[in-house]
Amino acid sequence: MRRPRVLFVAYYLAALFLILFFKNRTNDLIVENSHFVNTVLTGVEEFQNFFPIAYMLNFIDTYDSLPTIYVITPTYNRLTQIADLTRLKNTLQLVPKVVWIIVEDSLDKTDKIINFVFDSNLKIVHLVEKTLPTVKPSGTVGHKGVEQRNRALKWLKESNVANGAFYFADDDNSYDIRLFEEIRSVERIGVWPVGLVGGIKYEAPICKNNKVIDWFFVYNPRRYFPTDMASFALNVKLLHEFEDIYFERFTRGDLEGVFLKKFQIKMNELEPKANNCSKIYVWHTRTRKEIIKSGIDFDKEIMKQI
């Protein structure tokens, strides 16, 4: 179980080695142009302050005591699937103490995602749950990813996970690394703004005296918790405090709000994160649907990767 910390420290030591290596090499440079030497030395100093390295240094001494973040990502087969997952993977690789729960919309695990998981230097739980066709009740909205998120919640509960926070991260969103430290500190339910959502530039909780008093949003004004899936995280202990915690597949356009109501929490009891909900650390981006030209003989082995 100490392997993640070993890898984390190994990355740091490798970065430190590069810093010292280049710093020593600059001492041996024999050049007439002193401006070049100063430029190299300045580059080394900038490398020491390079954000991912400086960020990792913050957790060297406290790694073992950090709460784990469980990132839940439903995914389905499409041309951009691996591209989207790779972008999210590259973000999560910079975050310490993360367990990534990937749930395929499939009856069985696909080779494509099996290979992706194998090649990823992350602790990943790979699950499957097929979205089954059902008759949609009149006046309701069918939501994507419901069965997959519910499968992940079931895994968390059955695994008796007792420490940390969980977050629903769609694979085509864009995430600032700072979001995950906001998630890590959630005591019950934390909330924050989301960019590019609901037909406007952002949706956000409105806060006063560090309390959520209202919400800035446009879509479906009847919602009590007008949140996007990317705008909240929960402490895992809530899964043990409440029974029957799951998403309802068909709601009246309020999937997230109906889910949050199950925890019997009031709006002013939500925890405003991201500098009192004044910063945007996640954007509801969507990958463009690619149209592939027909009649082209692609290499089948390469196509298996995408």
Residues annotated in a binding site for Mn(2+): 172
Catalytic site includes residue 147 = no
C-alpha radius of gyration, the chain, whole number: 22
Cβ–Cβ under 8 Å, residues 289 and 203: no
Cβ–Cβ under 8 Å, residues 258 and 193: no
Give me the catalytic one of 45, 256, 271, 301. Answer: 256
How far, CA to CA in Å, does 244 sit from each of 167, 188, 301? 18, 17, 44
How far, CA to CA in Å, does 270 sit from each of 75, 191, 221, 256? 28, 7, 19, 14
Catalytically active residues are 256
